[in-house]
């Protein structure tokens, strides 16, 4: 869940489903670093620090951070905002060649939007043991009953992404 309304988002835990791991590519590291930059920018605005970047063919299509507080909209998650921007930019309703980088494992809402937009690849940072829909709680992204299953890479820069979330929630106490 990108809004991370409870203080547990970003908890490190092992997912219930297998998530591809391996040596991250330089472009994956660059994408996640950009998403972390956005998450930090959101934190300054008192938003739960989740950032998302969508890249296709080396070009950034969209960047966003959570805006649930600013918009007074619980659905204004980084992934959803970035998907809307990217789809608008390309003038299509699908993103099969795109990679979504996000600092927190997508929630049900965002995982559903990712499937509907047919995003080709999802790379996320911290696991979300309470709301994660890319393997932690359930794996909506790779459910065999859905009409699209993106490639999923989980845990990239997980410690840094999780620490940012933990520091944010500790500062609220």
Using alpha carbons only, what angle is made at residue 120 by residues 138 and 54, rounded to the nearest 5 degrees?
A: 95
pLDDT digits (tens, 9 = 90+) for 36-68: 999 999 999 999 999 999 999 999 999 999 999
Distance, in Å, from the CA atom of 119 to the CA atom of 75, rounded to the nearest integer, reads 19
pLDDT of residue 37: 98
CA dihedral of residues 21, 152, 157, 110 (deg, nearest 10): -160
Q: What percent of the chain has pLDDT over 90?
A: 84
pLDDT at 120 over 70: yes
CA separation, residue 76 to residues 3, 13, 19, 134 (Å):
8, 26, 26, 19
* Candidate list 47, 63, 79, 105, residue with the active-site label: 79
92 carries an active-site annotation: no
The upper half-sphere exposure of residue 79, i.e. CA atoms within 13 Å in the direction of its Cβ, equals 29
Phi, psi of 155 (to 5 degrees): 85, 10
Whether 96 and 61 have beta carbons less than 8 Å apart is answered as no
Question: Facing residues of 100 across strands?
Answer: 54, 122
- Residue 9: which pLDDT band, with cuts at 50, 70 and 90? very low
């Amino acid at each position: 869940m990108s809004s991370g309304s409870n203080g547990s988002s970003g908890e490190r835990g092992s997912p219930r489903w297998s998530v591809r791991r391996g040596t991250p590519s330089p472009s994956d590291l660059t994408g996640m670093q950009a998403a972390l930059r956005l998450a930090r920018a959101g934190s300054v605005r008192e938003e739960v620090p989740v950032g998302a970047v969508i890249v296709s063919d080396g070009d950034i299509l969209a960047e966003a951070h959570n805006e649930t507080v600013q918009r007074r909209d619980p659905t204004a998650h980084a992934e959803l905002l970035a998907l809307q921007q990217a789809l608008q930019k390309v003038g299509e309703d699908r993103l099969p060649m795109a990679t979504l980088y996000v600092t927190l494992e997508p929630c049900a809402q965002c995982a559903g939007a990712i499937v509907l937009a047919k995003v080709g690849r999802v790379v996320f940072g911290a696991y979300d043991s309470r709301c994660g829909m890319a393997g932690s709680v359930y794996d909506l992204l790779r459910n065999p009953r859905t009409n699209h299953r993106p490639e999923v890479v989980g845990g990239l820069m997980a410690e840094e992404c999780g620490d940012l979330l933990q520091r944010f929630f500790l500062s609220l106490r």
